[in-house]
Amino acid sequence: MNKFMRMIVFFDLPVVSEKDRKAAAKFRNFLLKDGYHMMQFSVYTRICNGTDAVEKHEERLKLNLPSKGSIRLLTITEKQYESIHILLGEKAFDDTRESVELLNIF
């Protein structure tokens, strides 16, 4: 029986030069095409059915690494992933009718 696993990719890529920006965009596009979803900026996740699938996708990840930057991969079980807590700060703006109308004016 295969166990569902969650791959989480964390990355910091340079985006100073045009070449760096293109490499970062190419890496993000690879992640999306390979079935990853953005969890938050520079953190992408995908689900795999068992360790064989994790190994396959880890190899695909290695083949698509940009030449610069820092990439980390964490693999956990889906049960461990389900225990995630999402902690949010205060709202950036008030969602009252008046604030929405002000946003529409500008």
- Whether 94 shows a pLDDT value over 60: the answer reads no
**Which residues are CB-neighbours of 31 under 8 A, at least 6 positions away?**
9, 44
pLDDT band of 90, cuts 50, 70, 90: confident
Cα 48 to Cα 2: distance, rounded to the nearest angstrom: 10
pLDDT of residue 1: 63
Judging by DSSP bridges, how do beta strands 37-40 and 70-77 pair with one another? Answer: unpaired
Helix (H) or strand (E) run with residue 76 in it: strand 70-77
pLDDT band of 2, cuts 50, 70, 90: confident
The per-residue pLDDT of the chain, averaged, comes to 88
Residue with tokens 């791959």: 7
